[in-house]
Structure 1
């Protein structure tokens, strides 16, 4: 399945440059020409690799959706979760592709209606407006499909461990780290992610010296992976009596969840050594 998805999201083939010495078209062919928005048929012919990949994606999505109802798959939680995740990754691609094909059909039907009403100016004006709207929608859907087929980070769908550690700034750095922890917790709640603390070390004046929590949900690593680094704040801290502005820092680490691995240790690879004290010992 990973090999199929890797091939599905592969970049389109590069154009082969013309041989050296090939004459270029004269400028009058291009200069001053208005760019026409391609019709549905032109879009398909101009981007055959896109349509081929989308057809493959839709076919794979259907096959995996059927497999989810297989009793053998349902009885294997790890395999079921793997296939369900692959289906979820292709959901938006397939939905957008079906919208694209539906828009194509509407555009062709509207063009046929235009030919049938060539003698009715009022109707032609309405049809022209509809054609323009459908053409714009078709172009937007095509761009969206290209974006959805861009290669993605294989870790984007992983759950994470999020660590916040107070940096420079003394007690205020701990308070700042606590503010960051609350911010991330609220963000998790807004995205319907589940989180739970793994370990924490509280600071004396409030906040945390270190705080680690586990976050589970959809596309967690994708949305939080760029939060890693040093976060700085400049403000008048609660611990400042003179009203001076202090600079405090805290570091954030985002670690994707590792795959579960079953480790099998052969008993013959285990070496046991025993020893006893040679002295009188102490009471």
Structure 2
């Protein structure tokens, strides 16, 4: 009997290990692990504006945090947050450290080669922000300038003129300026810290999501948003491919939140608008 139990334990250990070591999840493995541990591990950021941030109590807060908690509640489990770097999330090399990634990721075809997007949950606008005393008033004023972007983000692809509008509801994109240099940063806030030093000191502009920009300005950053958006895009919940059962559960949770108005309420709470429909 002891030998049998040892064999069962070893098999279970191998099953859990396979979730972490494979770039894709085995069918049912992620959902089984979530239900067995009664825990949904969710990757969020600590300085992603109102999407997710550390509040005055040094606790994670924001729209993504509320949505993740609601998804976990829908699954009947608790939520546990982890805070990896964005480029690690987009690489798909999760190694079993989390089950779901937030961050309002744009579900492009290139990313779909490594990741899976069970549900779209927001629409957003990418914009350019400059120092408050900058003479730039329109996107074409950024021709030849130094712009900052988050590494591995859609804004970086836009700046490099490689962004392919291949997400749900995508419309043709016009590249309205050509930067002289594109600097990449780990987070938007690090880029904002360089931009706040003054116009052209280290950066002339930062490209990122409008909600992040407005959150920074509200927090006191001496910046101004150029009114013309770079592009509009969808944002999706992100998981690893391979576990259809888990994907279906996440999709169903977002559908339930959309149908009963919970998703809209969270967006209105943080942004004053639904952000669940195309702008």
TM-score normalized by structure 1?
A: 0.22
More strand by share: 2
The one of the two structures with greater contact order (alpha-carbon pairs below 8 A, sep at least 6) is 2
TM-score normalized by structure 2?
A: 0.22
Larger Cα-atom Rg = 1
More helix by share: 1
